[in-house]
Homo-oligomer: A and B are copies of this chain.
Amino acid sequence: MISGKPIGRLSLYRRLLNSLLQDGEQSICSHDLAARAGVTAAQVRRDIMNIGYSGNPNRGYDVGKLVESIGNFLDAPEGQNVVLVGVGNLGRAILAFFAGRRPKLSIVAAFDNDPEKIGRLIKGCRCYSIKHADKIIQELDISIATLCVPAKVAQEVADILVQAGIKGILNFAPVPLHVPYYLYVEDIDMTMSLEKVAYFARIT
């Protein structure tokens, strides 16, 4: 069992390696990858060791094979479907941002409660009523939700999603969610992040 931080780094390595591949790079050593990722070489080596890939002493890692190994580790072979909940400003921006970005992780539906939006195609994604969450999540085999609703209704909406069988939530609502232990929640709290930057920009 690997914790959240190494998983995040693997995701980052993959992205960096993919752009190296496009530049025609065949191999890379831990030191170079570490510099690009902003971590230490030892960390890179341990992360790669953890997923069971081995490099070549003297020549480092084969970029293509390493990308493949990371994919085998991170991705579900058959892909995973995502639903975005709350099609406001932020929701629409995220729909546009993720559209086609990762083939094995696609946002296949959106939920909202605004009759103006329901039934429409927004940023290429069909919008449904949150009332039909159960049905849509089952039919489209959705396991992940991206929560972009206002803080006040976040818990209530999360409860609906959990009930419908969601397994993980990416939570943009600026409030901690209470969910059963078997669910994974990752919080992106922009207000908190901005206040952190403000604090450290000031005292350093």
Contact = CB atoms under 8 A, between A and B. Distances in A.
Nearest to A105: B198
Interface in A102-141: 102, 105
A30 B195 CA distance: 22
A46 interface: no
A196 B12 contact: no
A184 B201 contact: yes
A175 B37 CA distance: 8
Contacts of A204: 167, 182-184
Interface stretch (A52-60, A61-69, A91-99): A91-99
A170 interface: yes
Given A37-B176, A190-B188, A11 B195 contact: yes
Interface size class of A (residues with CB under 8 A): 35 or more
A93 B95 CA distance: 12
A169 to B, nearest CB: 7
B12 A198 contact: no
Interface string A8-41: 1001100100000000000000000000111000
Contacts of A7: 195-196, 199-200
A196 B192 contact: no
A197 B178 contact: no
A198 B89 contact: no
Contact of A170 (B80, B177, B197): B197
Given A97-B190, A190-B97, A197 B169 contact: yes
B176 A102 contact: no
